[in-house]
Structure 1
Amino acid sequence: MKYLKVTLLFTALIVSSSGMAMDKTAAGAVAGATIGAITGKDVKSTVGGAVVGAGAGAMFKNGDKGKAARKGGAIGAAVGAGAAAVTGKSVLKGAAVGAGSGALIGEVTH
């Protein structure tokens, strides 16, 4: 298991360094999914990592798409934190996933 985690971490570093040629959203999704897979134990953590990573990548874009992604991320973080608080889940995790989802929605709808 340790070998698998080291391999996944090494792969994430390679992808993130070569991510300059990739779209920032795609590079963030790959890096986030890899980190989610390393730290979690199921598919849900991998998908959550991909969403958060893609949202973070979208927020780092320049221009109107980046601005729309940042605005969507802020709204998504507030909604995600509120929903997590109401359901009794982790507010921080809800805010992170909400920000990632909101950033992706903001980027796509722009």
Structure 2
Amino acid sequence: MKYIKTTLLLSALIFSATSLAADKTATGALAGAAIGAVAGKSVKSTVGGAVVGAGTGAMFKNGEKGKAARKGGAIGAAVGAGAAVVTGNSVLKGAALGAGAGGMVGEATH
């Protein structure tokens, strides 16, 4: 049953991604959510994958928005890694989630 759910989710994401292919942030969020869902098989991993994917997509944009997203991603990675150390969680996970969130914030605030 889990295999069927995963297949349906990936199929839906592939068909919906074609309409969002012009926006790298949305495409990254969809791809990240799909990878998080398959890898972690939980809502938390799906949301985390979406955040990392959206931030990565935002950082690949050209121009001022991409530059702001990259700057926000660098700051977010440092903050996320620091927070992970303090709370005793994985530093790599904290840095990845921080970079994704920072990239989205950087793009949105520009």
Which bin holds the TM-score, normalised by the shorter protein?
0.7 to 0.9
Q: Aligned equivalents of 1:59 and 1:19: distance in 2?
A: 20
- Correspondence for 2:78: 78
Question: Deviation of residue 42 (structure 1)?
Answer: 1.5
Alignment TM-score, normalising by the size of structure 2: 0.87
Question: Deviation of residue 5 (structure 1)?
Answer: 3.3
Question: Deviation of residue 97 (structure 1)?
Answer: 0.2
Comparing 54-63 with 41-50, greater Cα deviation is found at 41-50
Question: Deviation of residue 41 (structure 1)?
Answer: 2.4
Q: Aligned equivalents of 1:91 and 1:31: distance in 2?
A: 23
- Correspondence for 1:89: 89
Comparing 59-68 with 18-27, greater Cα deviation is found at 18-27
Decide whether the 8 Å contact of 1:15 with 1:31 is kept in 2: no
Give the number of aligned pairs. Answer: 109
Letter of the 2:80 counterpart: G
Matches within 5 A, 1:46-65: 46-65=46-65
- Correspondence for 1:28: 28
Letter of the 1:70 counterpart: R
Question: Deviation of residue 7 (structure 1)?
Answer: 4.6
Q: Aligned equivalents of 1:60 and 1:105: distance in 2?
A: 14
- CA separation of 1:21 and 1:5: change in aligned 2, threshold 3 A: closer
Decide whether the 8 Å contact of 1:73 with 1:102 is kept in 2: yes
Decide whether the 8 Å contact of 2:29 with 2:50 is kept in 1: yes
Is 1:40 paired with 2:47?
A: no
**Percent identity over paired residues:** 69
Decide whether the 8 Å contact of 1:36 with 1:47 is kept in 2: yes
Q: Aligned equivalents of 1:95 and 1:10: distance in 2?
A: 30
Comparing 32-41 with 78-87, greater Cα deviation is found at 32-41
Unaligned stretches of 5+ residues in structure 1 = none
Alignment TM-score, normalising by the size of structure 1: 0.87
